[in-house]
Amino acid sequence: MRMRFDRMEWAGSLGDLGTLLPLSFALIMINGLSATGLFLSVGLMYVIGGLYYGIPIAVQPMKVVSAYAVGMALSAQVVTASGMLLAVLLLVLGATGLVDFVARVVPRAVVRGVQLSTGVLLLSKGVRMVIGTSPFQTMQGAAEPFLAISSIGPVPMSLIFGLGFAVVALLLLNSKRYPAGLVVVGFGAVAGALFGAWRELGGVDLGFHLPEILPFGFPTGADFSFALFALVLPQVSMTVGNAVIAYRDLSNEYFGKESLKVTDRAVCISMGLANVFSALVGGMPMCHGAGGLAAHYRFGARTNGANLIIGAAFIVLAILFGPGSVNALHLLPMGVLGVLLIFSGIQLALTVRDMRARTDLFIIVVMLGITLTANLAWAFGVGIALWHLFRKLNLTA
């Protein structure tokens, strides 16, 4: 595939910021991760992964680890330990080919269940960000914590921005002259600056910043044991389901023969290597993800040029701004990030359109229900069990 750098690629490169930035902000501000190491790791994974796979790829925080770490305000050492353990597990799965065995027992209905469930989660999180009730906004005590005005009377500014930019995104969704993602992010940042977010740039120290190696020291045995049971084991099944199998399936659907390098083994290895580097420089556990790929594709990414654009932006941001890089990203209002999440969630959820069998649809709905009431890891396991049970009972209508 010949890489392009046109307006659609620029717009598509920004499509997944709604997922990436809120969790990144929280991990830096609450758990103390290194902003330099985190954003440099994200940028390098985008660039190197994009060059290797030759098509658009997604880079996202590992959501189980990130959400639990933020919610429990875990130490940076525990988060680093989880990244190291996940890196080892992913490299073993990929290098030994064990992930191929796992993929063979996961049917398409379960893959679609993972994609629908993830899409609905993204959609619901986007709505919560727009109305100002996401966990990050609640912890900050404001719907728009980085703006001078958080609300106008009882109406949160995130809702005003969200509704306004949702209309803009709808009107421009299929426009190639004015790509929706580019317009929403660009004018969103301008609007954020005009409403006071420019103050966040006051503490930025421009210069040449390189990450420290193991900035929090090497994790202790207690850090590793806690991370294994509280973070890593709950994350693994979700990662295999969404960031490996569902991600590979969606890549094949979007890019056909051009996605030949996107195999389950390759995806495990690229995530494993990325997490080795990220853990060493104080970054977050990272993965690919079907939701992220859907977001990039929805807003126009069709070549790996989109990866080079967003990857280079994060690398420059990390090196130029260092610890203050998170401040520069505060220009984007939370309502704008919520709009990006909503549209990427809808795009991913619509992948179920090719499912026709009633038993497959039943599995997908059950998986969605379990995801919303428990978590995606449990839904993944139950979905596989139901599919094989239906086949054994010859219930395939």
Is residue 70 situated within a structural domain?
A: yes
List the single range of 86-95, 158-167, 266-275, 342-351 with lowest mean pLDDT: 342-351
DSSP-assigned beta bridge partners for residue 219: none
Average pLDDT estimate for 147-167 = 94
Q: Give the number of other Cβ atoms within 10 Å of residue 39's Cβ.
A: 29
Average pLDDT estimate for 250-274 = 95
SS3 (DSSP) at 300: coil
Average pLDDT estimate for 225-250 = 86
Residue 48 has pLDDT above 90, yes or no: yes
SS3 (DSSP) at 287: strand
The rounded percent of the chain whose pLDDT value lies above 90 is: 54
DSSP 305-337: HHHHHHHHHHHHHHHHHGGGHHHHHTTS-HHHH
Rounded distance, CA 200 to CA 390, Å? 56
Average pLDDT estimate for 263-268 = 95
Could you tell me whether strands 60-61 and 286-287 are parallel, antiparallel, or unpaired per DSSP bridges?
antiparallel
Q: 148: which DSSP letter?
A: S
| Phi (first) and psi of residue 152, to 5 degrees | -115, 100
Residue 295 has pLDDT above 70, yes or no: yes
Residue 55 has pLDDT above 80, yes or no: yes
Q: In the structure, what pLDDT confidence band is assigned to residue 71 with cuts at 50, 70 and 90? A: low
Residue 397 has pLDDT above 70, yes or no: no
Per mean pLDDT, which of 134-138, 172-176, 286-290, 306-310 is the most reliable? 306-310
Is residue 20 situated within a structural domain?
A: yes
Average pLDDT estimate for 10-39 = 87
Q: What is the pTM of this model?
A: 0.81
Is residue 300 situated within a structural domain?
A: yes
Average pLDDT estimate for 213-220 = 95
Amino acid letter at 368?
A: L
Rounded distance, CA 244 to CA 81, Å? 22
Rg from Cα positions in the chain: 20
* The pLDDT value given to residue 3: 87
Is residue 270 situated within a structural domain?
A: yes
* The pLDDT value given to residue 215: 94
* The pLDDT value given to residue 347: 78
Count Cα neighbours of 24 within 13 Å in the Cβ-side half-sphere. Answer: 32
| Cβ contact 10:304 at 8 Å | no
Q: Give the number of other Cβ atoms within 10 Å of residue 375's Cβ.
A: 18
What tens digit of pLDDT does each residue of 296-319 get? 998 899 999 999 999 999 999 999
Between residues 88 and 113, which one has the greater pLDDT?
88
| Cβ contact 137:312 at 8 Å | no
Is residue 389 situated within a structural domain?
A: no
* The pLDDT value given to residue 238: 77
Residue 86 has pLDDT above 90, yes or no: yes
Is residue 335 situated within a structural domain?
A: yes
* The pLDDT value given to residue 15: 86
DSSP-assigned beta bridge partners for residue 287: 60
- Based on the structure, what is the number of domains in the chain? 1
* The pLDDT value given to residue 250: 93
Rounded distance, CA 191 to CA 177, Å? 21
Residue 166 has pLDDT above 90, yes or no: yes
* The pLDDT value given to residue 160: 96
List the single range of 185-194, 253-262, 347-356 with lowest mean pLDDT: 347-356
What tens digit of pLDDT does each residue of 317-340 get? 999 998 888 888 888 899 998 898
* The pLDDT value given to residue 305: 95
Q: In the structure, what pLDDT confidence band is assigned to residue 371 with cuts at 50, 70 and 90? A: confident
Domain that holds residue 284: 7-353
Give residues with Cβ within 8 angstroms of 258, minimum separation 6. Answer: 1, 54, 55
The rounded percent of the chain whose pLDDT value lies above 70 is: 99
Is residue 94 situated within a structural domain?
A: yes
